[in-house]
Structure 1
Amino acid sequence: MSTPAGHTSAIAASRVIGTAVYNTAGDNVGTIHDVMLDKLSNNIMFAVVSFGGFLGIGEKYHAIPWGSLDYEKSRGGYIVPYSKDQLEAAPAYSVEELTREDGRTARDASYDYYKVDPYWS
């Protein structure tokens, strides 16, 4: 099966991690630091996108619903339909906070903030 942009539906996580993330205005807003998996439902909970910082110092991590990202081959990265202001105002976490309560707190806050229909409902 293909994604809305026509890409294949299967990809190795190792190819995703480190990929640039852009908003629709073309601004580079960060990189994919990791992906969180929901082992009980076999879904991807969210992408962990790192913003700002230098060499891991001062970085903020945001949980962005996986379905919000679309790979654009010409940019060599993922595009999210959010403005820079929306992304900067989004809930931010430490890596440890992203996994608290099995990731549900970050997941729920992310889907609520970005107004994405939850996959678990």
Structure 2
Amino acid sequence: MTDLSITPRNLIAAERVNGTDVYNLQGDKLGTVADIMIDKVSGRAIYAVMSFGGFLGIGEKHHPLPWSTLKYDERQGGYVVALDKKVLEDAPTFDDSETFSWTPDYGRQVDRYYNAPSYW
């Protein structure tokens, strides 16, 4: 069955999502979307990888957020999550300087941390 509530306005190219700001409920900028993890069979976005912290890219961490935790806010022109910086400081992360391999166990860890339904 086709979802008639989806309009061309709801669609966006993944390259345009990268760089979109992410805010908490208080309107504080937490970071930006650095990448999107997509299920290659269904085409669904599963995780947004948000860059957070650091200065001029140094010390910056990548936080995978379950896509279900993000809500787009047209007024802010970005995504809003019900998180604060303290929650992100303790969240699962990875950085560019380490060799990182996404595994189902890592995905389940992320989903549990954010109390989100697991893709795995």
- Indicate the TM-score class for this superposition, using the shorter chain for normalisation: 0.7 to 0.9
> TM (normalized to structure 2)?
0.81
Q: Which residue of 2 aligns with 1:70?
A: 71
Structure 1 SS opposite 2:47: strand
Contact 1:46/1:107 (<8 A) preserved: no
Residue segments in structure 1 that go unaligned for 5+ positions in a row: none
Report the aligned-residue RMSD. 2.0
Question: Matched residues in 2 for 1:23 and 1:88: separation?
Answer: 14
For residue 33 of structure 1, what is the amino acid of its counterpart? A
**Aligned counterparts of 2:31 and 2:112: Cα–Cα separation in 1:** 21
TM-score (norm 1): 0.81
- Calculate percent identity across the aligned residue pairs: 45
Q: Which amino acid aligns with 2:21?
A: A
Deviations 1:15-61 (A, max 9, x none): 11001100112111000001111214432221010001122210010
Counterpart CA distance in 2 for 1:88 and 1:37 is: 24
Which segments of structure 1 move beyond 6 Å, counting only runs of 4 or more? none
Count of residue correspondences: 113
Q: Which residue of 1 aligns with 2:114?
A: 114
Give the secondary-structure state (helix, strand or coil) at the position aligned to 1:14: helix
Residue 82 of structure 1: CA displacement?
1.3
Q: Deviations over 1:42-86 (max 9, x none)?
A: 322210100011222100100000111111111111101112211
Larger helix fraction of residues = 1
